[in-house]
Structure formats: C-alpha cells, structure tokens
Structure 1
Amino acid sequence: MDIQFKRASELKYAESLTQSNMASYYLARNIVWDSSLFIKNWALLDNFEIFADNHRVGIVRFSYNESTTFLRVFSENPAIKLYKEKGFTQTVEVNGLIEMEFTLSSNT
C-alpha cells in the first residue's frame, strides 16, 4: 500500500473527515466534538491529508519544538502502526491518548 502525506488546505473537508474518523474514539470517551477548537488548532498546527493508494483516508496534525515533531493518537487507533513505520516513537500514554514524537535531523 502506498501511503503519502500531502499538506491539507481544505479546512471544512479536513474537519469533516477528522470528525467522522474519530467519532468512535470520542464516543467511547464521552467527548463532544468542538468545531471551534478544531478551527483554532488548524492555524496553530501543520495539517496533512493522508492518502492510501491515492485515496484520502485521514488527517494528521503535527506540532513542533526545536528538534522534535509531535502528534497525539488514541491508543486503539490503528494509525499508530503507520506512524511507527514512518519513524515516530511512542513516548507517553495518558488516559488512552498516546503522544508520539519524531526527532528531526540537524543540518549542522
């Protein structure tokens, strides 16, 4: 299976896809979808669409510090396997939410 990440540009589409993909995780945790929070974080994070064999299947959102890229994933989400294959490592799990990180290479 060919997996690609492409920069996301369609906020409403990304929100709709994320909301539908995450619905079961939110329901299991009694979390209510917050559209305003999604929109606020859209501007703060790097947002990418995930394509599997040229079909959009998901959204991934990254945050950074000087040397590391971060993302958070629900513990039962099968995307964890994909992120590990792409070089992310699991660092912390709190209440079923896993933080993953990828160390950025330095060009020094």
Structure 2
Amino acid sequence: MVFHLRTASDQDLPFARTLTHRAMDRYYVQNQLLWSNDGFDMAWAGRENWLICSDDGVVGFISLSRDSHALYIRELHMLEVYRGLGAGSWVLEQMALKAQQPGLLRLTVFKTNPAKRLYQRRGFSIVGEEDGFWRMERVCRPG
C-alpha cells in the first residue's frame, strides 16, 4: 500500500475529532479523563494537521506542534481497518524527516496503549512518565 499526506482543512475537523475520540475513549476512561470536543477543536486550531491517505482514500490523521527543541506528535490515529498495514510506520518515518531540524521527535502515549511498541520499534525511547502516560522521543539527525 502506498501512503501520502494531505494537509487537513477545517472540513476535515469532524472526521479527525471522531477518529480521535473513538481511538482514545477507552484510555480516557481507564485514566479517568474527560473527553472534550471543544478542547479538541481548540487544539486543532493551533496545530499542523494532516490526513494520512492511500489510494483507497483517507486512512488516518496526524496532528503536530513544534518548538525550538522538537516536533511533537500530538495525535496519530488510523481507521481500525488500516491498522497493522504499515501506515503508522510510514508516517513516523515521514515525521522523523520533518524533525531533523530541530532534531527531536516527541510524543506522549498512554501506558496501556499497545502503540508504544510501534514507537519503540521505530526508534523512540521512553524519557519520562506522568500519571498514566509515557513521554517518548526519537533523535532525528540528517544523514
């Protein structure tokens, strides 16, 4: 399967919100957190948002922010039928290229989320923890 990224528009917000809520709901419940559509929408407005696409259409969504130290993956979700087909690994490699300047790619993952194994396979290390989350990062240098 061949993947590509497409800049998400405000018309894609309902898709991204619904996908994120469905993917994260059980982790929110496990960690006694409350989902907020308004909170998601506010975060969307201040982030770099992309749709993950294949020839079949949209397969997922990624949301990014950055500072002078790192590129941060804030959300990364695939439609369930596309999980395990390589899109997640492909996206992480694309983000590693984008993160060469400033040199770090960071994310936070719920401790009970099996995606942690994917991140570790793609070069991320656990660098800290908070409550129910692992903080992870990958060094991304040119060459």
The TM-score by the shorter chain falls in which range?
Answer: 0.7 to 0.9
Identity %: 29
Instruction: Please name the residue that 1:30 is paired with.
Output: 32
> Number of paired residues?
104
TM-score scaled by structure 2? 0.58
Q: Which has the higher contact order (CA 8 A, sep 6+)?
A: 1
- Determine the C-alpha separation between the residues in 1 that align with 2:67 and 2:139: 10
After TM superposition, what 4+ stretches of structure 1 lie above 6 angstroms from structure 2? none
Instruction: Please name the residue that 1:74 is paired with.
Output: 110
Q: Assess, with a 3 A threshold, how the Cα gap between structure 1 residues 78 and 31 changes in structure 2: closer, same or farther.
A: same
Is there any run of 5+ residues in structure 1 with no aligned partner, and where?
A: none
The match for 1:13 among 3, 12, 15 is 15
| 2:39 counterpart letter in structure 1 | L
TM-score scaled by structure 1? 0.73
| 2:18 counterpart letter in structure 1 | S
Is there any run of 5+ residues in structure 2 with no aligned partner, and where?
A: 69-101
Q: CA RMSD in A?
A: 2.8
Moved more, 16-25 or 61-70: 61-70
- Determine the C-alpha separation between the residues in 1 that align with 2:63 and 2:16: 10
Moved more, 87-96 or 65-74: 65-74
